[in-house]
Every structure is written in C-alpha cells, then in structure tokens.
C-alpha cells in the first residue's frame, strides 16, 4: 500500500495524539479506565447508568493478570496492579451499594 493510501486510511497523523507505548503499565491503565467507566465514575457528559457486569469483568481481568504475573513484575508494576485491583474492588462495592 502506498504512503498516500495509508494516509487516506489512517489520516495525516495530525488529527490525534501519538499513541502511548504498548507496555504493561498502559494495559493496566486501559483495563482500569474501562472498569471505572463502566462503574459510572468518569465524567463524560450525562452520567451513564453503571454496567456492573462489564465493570466486574474488567476487574476480574486485572485480578487474573495479578495472579498470572505473580513474581514476574517489577516492584512498580506489581504495586500499580495491586493498587488498581484493590481500589476498583472497593469502588465496585461502594457504587453497587449506593444503587
């Protein structure tokens, strides 16, 4: 595919910011953001109804990563993952309880 054809498909690059590196930190951040969004914790226009099933799924994905990567992460990565799982579980219970 030519450079012009790629620009037609993907744009000229000026329309969006550069994507972050595909690393473990970004994976955890992405899953956490999805869970927070599904819990209705992020301010996007009208406050959406929480989708507890989808939020629980994203929290479970992070918990699975926590279990499967045990002993293979840097201390900073482990702390980020542990904190994310604990905070999301707390936010889930809080949000579900205020329903």
- Asked, for residue 52, whether it belongs to a domain, the answer is yes
- Asked, for residue 10, whether it belongs to a domain, the answer is no
pLDDT in tens, 18-44: 988 999 999 999 999 999 999 999 877
Contacts within 8 Å (CB) and 24+ apart, 27-30: 27/65, 28/62, 28/65, 28/77, 28/80, 28/81, 28/84
Q: How far is CA 63 from CA 18, 28, 31, 32, in A?
A: 29, 10, 11, 11
Cα distance between residue 71 and residue 85, in whole Å? 17
- Residue 35's domain spans which residues? 19-97
- Asked, for residue 25, whether it belongs to a domain, the answer is yes
- Asked, for residue 33, whether it belongs to a domain, the answer is yes
Q: How many domains does the chain have?
A: 1
**Is the separation of the CB atoms in 88 and 36 below 8 Å?**
yes
- Asked, for residue 5, whether it belongs to a domain, the answer is no
pLDDT in tens, 41-90: 987 777 778 999 999 999 999 999 999 999 999 999 999 999 999 999 99
């Amino acid at each position: 595919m030519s450079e012009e054809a790629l620009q037609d498909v993907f744009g000229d690059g000026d329309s969006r910011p550069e994507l972050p590196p595909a690393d473990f930190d970004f994976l955890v951040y992405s899953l956490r953001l999805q869970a927070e969004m599904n819990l209705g914790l992020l301010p996007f226009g009208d406050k959406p109804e929480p989708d507890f099933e989808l939020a629980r799924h994203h929290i479970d994905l992070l918990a699975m990563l926590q279990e499967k990567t045990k002993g293979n992460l840097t201390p900073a990565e482990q702390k980020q993952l542990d904190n994310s799982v604990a905070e999301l579980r707390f936010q889930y219970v809080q949000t579900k309880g205020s329903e």
